Amino acid sequence: MRLEPKPAPTLVETFAYPLGAVVVTFVIASLLVLAAGASPFSVFALVAKGAAGSRFAIMETLTRATPLIFTGLAVAVAFRAKLWNIGAEAQLYAGALITVVLATGALPLPAPILIPILMIAAMAAGALLLLGPALLKTRLGVDEVVTTLLLNFIMLLFVSMLLEGVLKDPMGMGWPRSPKIIADAQLPKLIARTRLHLGFLIAIVSAVVVWIIMKKTTLGYEMRAVGHNAEAARFAGIPVNSVLMKTALLSGGLAALGGFSEVTGLKSNLTLDLSPGFGYTGIVVAMLAMLNPLGVVLSAIFVAGIFVGADAMSRTAGVPSYIADVMVATALLTMVVAIMMTRFRVRWR
């Protein structure tokens, strides 16, 4: 079996391959559902209903999609420049942490001033966290996959330590959680009596801004050039290391906004289960979107829908909601194959 490069994908192929990946994912998931003793069609119908069957379901899906858009964007930006940031999880917690530190009374400011300050602080924290791995990569050639991945565990344990110590809510009845943030720091709901909050809108705006950066600015051009061929980029006079640093700052900042938005929009405090792996799922989201920032919004909603829908389904059909994890993981694998097939023709023999 050999791979031969092929011409640029046609418009049809651009959509057909990702769609094919999703179809294969459903086929594989069907087998697991059958193994669990249920009918795939009724299970998928329940998942779809749970994800988009009612106004409430749609709002839940969009709410769940919000942090995924941020982490998906963080990964898309970094991967585009071939900076393998696997640490969106840690950067998300860094953003959440600084938000909680500043928003629990340290800055008694009105909302229109406080919220932008919190956003900037969160982005700075996330960017700072990725700065270390990026510096190690550009100065010493240390593999960023290892450093960013391991920082996830360090960050989680650090947060855990703070929640058991200085950040522990005195009124928390012994639970490891931070105090609630002040009212001025909370993001308004987008639609009354739902959980959908302003963070979703910020996520959409971020996606558009990232899209503009990638397509229209010199920085976006530099990032793509470095990602596609760093040696040629260096030869052409593009400052590769400085581009990688800027990429790292942007990526870390975006992931951290996910933490900011979860705390200020949804949870109001920081706990260790703030993120059930949003940072890792962001990798799936970005890959499903083929690293396109606007595609990230759609794929985040899709992935969120599967999670939300699977939760609802498992309550009625008795199939474990872990099917969602399997589906998302399968989607990642099939998508990687699909991306490869848009670039290469497979020749058997």
The site for other proteins (CB under 8 A) is made up of 2, 5, 7-8, 216-222, 224-225, 228-229, 231-239, 349
Minimum distance, C-beta of residue 240 to other proteins, in the bound complex (Å): 10
Q: How far is the CB of 307 from other proteins (least distance, A)?
A: 33
Q: Which residues contact 174 (CB under 8 A, 6 or more apart)?
A: none
CB closer to other proteins, 2 vs 139? 2
- Burial level of 297, CB count in 10 A (0-12/13-18/19+)? buried
Q: Are 25 and 327 in contact (CB under 8 A)?
A: yes
CA distance 191 to 266: 13
In whole angstroms, the minimum distance from the beta carbon of 243 to other proteins comes to 12
Q: Answer for the pair 2, 347: CB distance below 8 angstroms, yes or no.
A: yes
223 within 8 A of 79, measured Cβ to Cβ: no
CA distance 133 to 87: 10
The two three-digit tokens of residue 203, written as one number: 């996520």
Least distance to other proteins from the beta carbon of 284, Å?
23
Terminal-residue alpha carbon distance, the chain: 5
CB closer to other proteins, 78 vs 304:
78
Of 129 and 214, nearer to other proteins (C-beta) is 214
C-alpha distances in Å from residue 45, one per residue of 40, 126, 201, 230, 303:
8, 39, 29, 46, 16
Nearest to other proteins of 154, 232 (CB atom): 232
Closest CB 233 distance from other proteins, rounded Å: 7
Query: Between the CA of residue 116 and those of 73, 110, 253, what are the distances in Å?
Result: 20, 11, 14
Instruction: Specify the residue, 231 or 273, whose C-beta has the smaller distance to other proteins.
Output: 231
Nearest approach in angstroms of CB 119 to other proteins is 22
Cβ proximity to other proteins, 162 vs 219, nearer residue: 219
The nearest distance, CB 227 to other proteins, in angstroms, is 9
- Kindly tell me which of 127 and 225 has the beta carbon lying closer to other proteins: 225
Which residue in this structure is represented by tokens 């942090």?
67
Other beta carbons within 10 angstroms of residue 183's beta carbon come to 8
